[in-house]
Amino acid sequence: MSIAALGRSAGESVRRSVAGLPREFWWLWTSTLVNRLGAFVTTFMALYLTVERGYSASYAGLVAALHGLGGVVSAVGAGVMTDRLGRRPTLLIAQSSTAASVALLGFVQDPVGIAAVACLVGMTSNASRPAVQAMMADIVKPEDRVRAFSLNYWAINLGFAVSAGVAGFIAEYSYLAGFLGEAALTLACAVLIYVKLPESRPERVLVDGRSAPETGMGTVLRDGRFMGVVGLSFVVALIFQQAFVGLPVAMGADGFSSSDFGMVIAFNGVLIVALQIPVTRFIEHRDTRRLLILSSALAGYGFGLTAFAGSLALYVLAVCVWTLAEIVNAPTQTSLVVRLSPVDGRGRYQGMYTMSWAVAGLVAPLMAGFLIDHYGADWLWGVCAVLGSVAAGGYWLLMRALPADEADLGVVVDGNAADANGVDGNGADGNAEDANGAVRSGPDKGAEPVADAVVPGRAAVSGEATERL
């Protein structure tokens, strides 16, 4: 095949990947890309504190932990705000607050003040994630959600890849310029959201003079299937976090330099940017169960391969294996969370899911430090392999009753159609939504029907909703 033919084939693949998504999605996608282009604080915080300010590595670790703690605290609160205030107000508050706190961090010099503001930055920057994911679920049709979440994840990595290189040059000139640059880009995201994105939260409408009770955090915590997914996502997150926690320490202990680590970890970003779209075309209509089981096992064994790495080539091979797992796992798992979420509780459900990754960000460094210090790096990679196997088995047990994805993704099966939200049943609670958008509650909820307002990009369906989850 000629180069021109390959180019046409690649172009056609890209066109198919981006076709059919609503305009609102692309504005949200653009805001994600712009926001990640300004990711200066998370990339250079440690260097800023140790090189620019002269603080110890222990203090830098404490500040990083407080930054992560802020994300844990805000995840659930932001989810509640997303459902109560709306997606758009939550995004505006989160992005504006992030811009202000990042700019403030560039000027604070007192060590206690730096730690406090870093915690605030972690809270505000993490607060936008439940709103972004809930809004994306609102405006994208069920059969397109895996593709939409994949494209958004691609934007995150593309923005980070570009910002990491540019921010390095900025840091050599002025760290303050980096902080102010991130603040400016984050504020630009807030303005973009305000101008281009309408509120997408489904309206709660009275039916027969009564309204259903609001989905509360108690409902989320009692949803056994969903909380099982949250627990498994935490296990998977512990594995992936080792890319930036255990891997650099292990490579340093093997005598490799920081530039060697930078070169190796760069393959992660390059592969995601290069493969995310074509891989998504391959997986978007495939069985969710198999994808999660495969990606969890592949993540564990990919990091497990690091135990045998004695050269840069073998480290790169290990990175390629777990990066493929990441490409498959991220959009698939986020889409599953949407399908398990009731319409009026998407923010809370996404907040709880986001918290699982934030908590993993706190636990992973402790786990890596303990295992490496007491038993050696090979034990860490062995534990990662075990965790991957546990997660794969957990997904198999949790989702063994889940039918084929043709039903879950809104495709007509045997004359029936899935609902416009992609959620016909909600775990143990038994919620289902009919073709007209009315929520039918199972015996556990005892709620009356509530109409779900039509929003841009929602699918229109006919027939009864099929029971899935």
Q: What is the pLDDT of residues 386-430, one digit of tens each?
A: 999 999 999 998 877 655 543 343 332 333 333 333 333 333 333
Residue 99 pLDDT grade (very low, low, confident, very high; cuts 50, 70, 90): very high
Q: Between residues 241 and 12, which one has the greater pLDDT?
A: 241
Residue appearing with tokens 């140790």: 50
Least confident of 163-172, 229-238, 353-362, 452-461: 452-461
pTM higher than 0.85: no
Tokens of 45: 């915080």
Best CA proximity match to 137, nearest among 417, 467, 469, 456: 456
Residue 305 pLDDT: 93
pLDDT at 447 over 90: no
Locate 62 and state its tokens: 């404490």
Name the CA radius of gyration of the chain, rounded.
22
Closest CA to 27 of 141, 182, 136: 136
Question: What does the chain come to in residues?
Answer: 469
Q: Which two tokens stand for residue 321?
A: 């294996």
Average pLDDT, the chain: 76
- d(C-alpha 213, C-alpha 139), whole Å: 24
Q: What is the DSSP letter of 48?
A: I
What is the model's pLDDT at position 393? 94
Identify the CA nearest to 391 among candidates 248, 327, 322, 295.
Answer: 295
Q: How far apart are CA 142 and CA 462, in angstroms?
A: 14
From 175-184, 303-312, 337-346, 445-454, the region with the lowest mean pLDDT: 445-454
